[in-house]
Amino acid sequence: MSRVRFAGAVTIAIGLLVSGVLLGRTPESPVPVAHVGHEATSSKVTLLQVFSPSMGKMITNQVIRAKPGSPTLVLLNGKGGGIEGDSWQNFTSYQRFFADKNVNVVSPLGGAYSMSTDWRSPDPVRGVNKWQTYLIHELPTAINKVLKANGRNAIAGLSLTGGTALDVAAHGGSLYRAAASYSGCPNISNPVAAAGLAASVLSGGANPLNMFTPSDWVNHDVAANPERLRGKAIYLGSATGAPGVVDNAGPHTAALLLGPAQVEAFTDWCTRKTSAALDQAGVAHFHARFPGGAHTWALFYAELRDSWFRVLGPALRA
């Protein structure tokens, strides 16, 4: 699997008033829309920094920029939030894949071990997490203004953020017309699933009790609320867990049997339960179940490419 590096960056800082008071200003006070800092770059990847009033800090976003008037795909990183180097940017050739696609690709950095959702209270280790608010109410406004996007949006996530992507689309009304989960677990209120997800959050030092109440687990579960996805283009990806050619692991394939295989088997089970719930509710979706594949970046990248041609690209008319 090839790695992609930044050849340069353009940093765009945005002070954005979404609601209430921003940095001590009243709603009536003039707020600068954007401050743009230019640097020489030979890469199509730029950095977009967006101020989040809900979290009180700047959020850095990796952006593959398309021409003005293009749609946008918000592509979430996994449990580490992309800040630990475990990201689409470092472990896939996604930049090359999207180079000839008519779409902006935006990947927020941050929110490690938070499931990229809204937490009910601040966490001593992970701080304030209001990522659903950011993805619905803060980031899209910046994208449309700075990138001159056309307002057609899709969102996708992998592993710990796979279910999040569907949930954000479900809670975002008409904002996101398509969503994809790559080896994620959208059926989060299932007791077994909730235990596994809480363990992932706990592994990052955070307290899952600061994240959700029991009713929150249900509210953020698209399998328990399938009607919220009706009319949207939905892609679910998973694999059996058995290491395969798709993992591109070569002589290291056997090593995937300890860890990645079990995790993918778990997310496959959870994804199948989600697909069954959507089927029962009559909510159209596409479930791509790969016959082989462990929980690897190579599999996630295969799911991303498959979802683009089957669901996301057509939905965005890109």
Domain ranges of the chain: 35-317
Residue 30 has pLDDT above 50, yes or no: no
Residue with tokens 């056309």: 150
When pLDDT is cut at 50, 70 and 90, the band that residue 32 belongs to is very low
Measure the CA–CA gap between 76 and 116, rounded to whole angstroms: 8
Count CB-CB contacts under 10 A for residue 104: 27
Beta pairing class for 176-182 and 153-158 = parallel
Question: For 82-130, how does the pLDDT look when each residue is reduced to its tens digit (9 = 90+)?
Answer: 997 889 999 999 999 999 999 999 999 999 999 999 999 999 999 999 9
Residue 14 has pLDDT above 60, yes or no: no
Classified as helix, coil or strand, 279 is: helix
Q: What is the CATH number of domain 35-317?
A: 3.40.50.1820
When pLDDT is cut at 50, 70 and 90, the band that residue 43 belongs to is low
Question: Which of 11-20, 23-32, 254-263 has the largest mean confidence?
Answer: 254-263
Measure the CA–CA gap between 160 and 172, rounded to whole angstroms: 19
Residues of the chain with pLDDT > 90, as a percent, come to: 85
Count CB-CB contacts under 10 A for residue 67: 9
What is the edge-to-edge ordering of all strands in the sheet holding 104-108? 35-37, 11-14, 45-52, 57-64, 104-108, 72-75, 153-158, 176-182, 233-239, 286-290
Measure the CA–CA gap between 250 and 51, rounded to whole angstroms: 43
- What is residue 44's predicted lDDT score, i.e. its pLDDT? 74
Question: For 135-165, how does the pLDDT look when each residue is reduced to its tens digit (9 = 90+)?
Answer: 999 999 999 999 999 999 999 999 999 999 9
DSSP 221: -
176 contacts 257 by C-beta, under 8 angstroms: no
127 contacts 205 by C-beta, under 8 angstroms: no
Question: Which of 40-44, 83-87, 251-255, 312-316 has the largest mean confidence?
Answer: 312-316
Q: Token pair of 62, please? A: 């990796």
Q: From 262, 270, 314, 251, select the one nearest 293 (Cα to Cα).
A: 262
Backbone angles phi, psi at 282, to 5 degrees: 75, 30
- What is residue 86's predicted lDDT score, i.e. its pLDDT? 87
- What does the pLDDT average to over 181-199? 98
